Structure 1
Amino acid sequence: MHPSRFCLLALLPLFTGCQLLAPGTPSQPSPAPRLQGEISQAGSQLLFRPCLEQRHFVLSDTANSALLRNSQSLLSDGHSVLFADLRGTLSASAENNHDGALAVSQVYRLQGEGHGCEDANFKQTLLRASGHEPSWSLRVGSQGMVLHRPGQEPLALPYLEEQLPEGRLHLSSEANGQRLGLWLTPQTCRDSMSGAVQHLSAELRLNDQVLRGCGHFGGARQ
C-alpha cells in the first residue's frame, strides 16, 4: 500500500470520533411541574401547601400573572383558604421557617369554592368551562363532552377539536339534534359570581344561543 494512502486510512477513525463527540442540538428545557394545592395567608406572605402534603412554600409570581393580587382579593372576600392549580418550581431550601419557595410560572385556576384537591375527576378531565345567566357547565374528556344546565338532563355529545392560532381552541359537535361550538381563548378570565380566576375565556354557542364564561385545562391535558 502507498504510504500516503495508509496514513489517510489510519486517520479515518479519528475523524469519525470527532463527529461522535461533536455537540448535538441543545435539548429543550423541561417545563415546570404542574401542581395543585391550597393557598393561605401567613402574616404578609402567601403560602402554598400541595394537595395531600403538609409542607408549605412561600409564593412568588415569576410570570407576572397577578396571582398574588388575585389571591389577596379572594382571601379578603371571606375565604380563609384558596384552591390553586398552577405550574411552578419548588425550591427545597428553608425560608422564614417554611419548607421553601414556589416560583409560579403559570396559573390555570384560582378559586375559593368548587372543585379542589378532592376532585376525583381531575385526572380524567381534558378541560372544563362554565358560565352564568343562564348557568351552564361543560366537562370534556377523551370519550366526549357533557353539558350540564339547571333543570335539564345532562347532554352527552361527541366532539371534534380544532387548534387555532395564538393558542385558541374550538370544540364542535352536531349530534342528537344539537349543534354546539365551544371557543376558548388563552386569557385571564374571572367568574362573574364567585370571583374565581381561570386561564381561558370561553364562549359556548348552543344552537342559536350564545353563552359566555371561563375555562381551564384538566389534569389529562398538560
Structure 2
Amino acid sequence: MKKCALFSIVSSLILLGCSSTEPQSQANQDETFTSVELVPNKQAPARVLLRGQIVIGHESRTIQPCNSNTTYWLSLPESVRRIAESMTSKPYQPMYAEVFGYFEPATMGFAEEFGSQFVVTEFNIITAENPNRCDQPTRDARAFGNEPSWSAGITDNAITLMQLGKETQVLPVVNLEQDTKGTRYDLVQGKLEVNYQVCRDSMSDSIYGRSAQLTTKDQTYVGCSTDSNEYSDLSAGEYSQSIDNSTNLTLSLRPDHLAETRYSYTDGSDDVVESGYWQTLESGLVQVTSVTYQGQKIIATREFELKGDTLSTEHETINGATYPLTNGGLTLKKAQ
C-alpha cells in the first residue's frame, strides 16, 4: 500500500446509523452485492457533492438538490443503479442521496431533455427509508454498524469509538495508508479499514458507498462508512461586468450549481439568457457551461480563473471549437 501523509477528517461525535454489511452467505443476499466496488475516479474533472432527492426508474433518473427547484439527470454506475432501484416499493419512488461526482452536458436519450447531467463517481448514502432528509444537520466523516451498535468519529490523529452504555474510547492513529481499495488507519492497538465497497444497511432500506472494519484489542466491529457531507463552494455568487457602456453581463452561480449568464442592454432590447451548470475543476478553474441559449440547445463553456472576488477568462468553447473573446476577454466582479 502506498503511504500517504495524514489528512484531516473532522470527528463525528453523534451516535447514529445502526448499519452493517450483510454477509455474502446470507440466503436472500445477492451474491454479487458484496463485490460491488465504486473506486473514486482520480481522473474526474471535479468532485462536487450533491445532497437531495433522487428518482430512479427506466425513463427517469434524476436528482433535485436540497433547497433547489433545479433537476439534473443522474448518471449512476449500472451496478449501483440496480441495487438502488431494488430498494423501492413502487416505481419512481423518491429517495434521499448524497453523491459525489461532476457535471457534463446531457446530449443523448432521456437525459437530453434535462441538458445537464451529474455523473456519480462516489456516494455516501442512497436510502428509501426517508426521502426528506435535507433539513437534517450535516455530518463529519464516520464509521458505524450494528450487532453491536457502534459509531466511530474519524480524525487525522484518532478514531473515537462510541457505544451506548459504554465509555467512549479514543484510539490514537499512528499511521495512515491509502491505495485503490481504500484507506487503512493503524492504531496503537488495532486498525480501521475503510474500503470502496458498497455497504448495505441491514436494518433499513439504505446503502452506503464504503464498508468499514474496526479492530481493537478487545473486539472487531463491522459496518459502513461515510465521508463528510458538509460541502460549500465559495465561488457561488453573482458576478457582473459592463461592456462598452452598452451591455451589462451578469453571471449567477447558484449553490445548486445552476449557472445563468444574462446580457442586459441599455437601449432597452430584451435580455439574452444562457443557462446551464458550473463547477470548480480540480485545476482550480471555475467551469461555466451553458446548455441553452434563449431556450435553444448549445454547449458553450468558459473556464474562469478566480482571484479574490474576480472571475476572468479570454476564451470560450462552443460546440467543441475554441474562440478568443473580444476586447481582451471577460473580467467579472463579484457582488458584495
User: TM-score surpassing 0.5?
Assistant: yes
**Which one has a larger percent helix, Structure 1 or Structure 2?**
1
Offset of residue 195 of structure 1:
3.8
Work out the CA distance in 2 between the residues paired with 1:84 and 1:220: 10
Question: What SS does the aligned partner of 2:180 have?
Answer: helix
TM superposition score normalised by structure 2: 0.46
Alignment of 1:177-192 (within 5 A): 179-192=189-202
Letter in 1 for 2:164: P
Question: What SS does the aligned partner of 1:159 have?
Answer: strand
The yes-or-no answer on 1:31 pairing with 2:29 is no
Unaligned runs of 5+ in 1: 1-27
Identity rate, percent: 23
TM superposition score normalised by structure 1: 0.65
Question: What SS does the aligned partner of 2:202 have?
Answer: coil
**Pair 90,50 (structure 1): closer, same or farther in 2 beyond 3 Å:** farther
Counterpart for residue 105 of structure 1? 121
**Pair 167,129 (structure 1): closer, same or farther in 2 beyond 3 Å:** same
Alignment of 1:28-177 (within 5 A): 30-40=45-55, 44-61=59-76, 63-64=77-78, 66-76=79-89, 80-89=94-103, 91=105, 100-113=116-129, 116-122=133-139, 125=140, 127-142=141-156, 144-174=158-188
Counterpart for residue 10 of structure 1? none
Work out the CA distance in 2 between the residues paired with 1:153 and 1:121: 25
Unaligned runs of 5+ in 2: 1-42, 232-281, 283-336
Work out the CA distance in 1 between the residues paired with 2:175 and 2:70: 39
Offset of residue 149 of structure 1:
1.1
- For the pair shown, which has the larger CA radius of gyration, 1 or 2? 1
Offset of residue 185 of structure 1:
1.9
The yes-or-no answer on 1:214 pairing with 2:224 is yes
| Residues matched between the structures, number | 186
Work out the CA distance in 2 between the residues paired with 1:77 and 1:158: 46
Offset of residue 199 of structure 1:
2.2
**Pair 113,85 (structure 1): closer, same or farther in 2 beyond 3 Å:** farther
Work out the CA distance in 2 between the residues paired with 1:90 and 1:101: 6
**Which one has a larger percent strand, Structure 1 or Structure 2?**
2
CA-to-partner distance for each residue in 1:163-184, whole Å, 9 max, x for gaps? 144343222333xxxx342112
1:75–1:82 contact (8 Å) kept in structure 2: no
Work out the CA distance in 2 between the residues paired with 1:215 and 1:34: 16
Question: What SS does the aligned partner of 1:75 have?
Answer: coil
1:161–1:169 contact (8 Å) kept in structure 2: no
Q: Give RMSD over aligned pairs.
A: 3.6
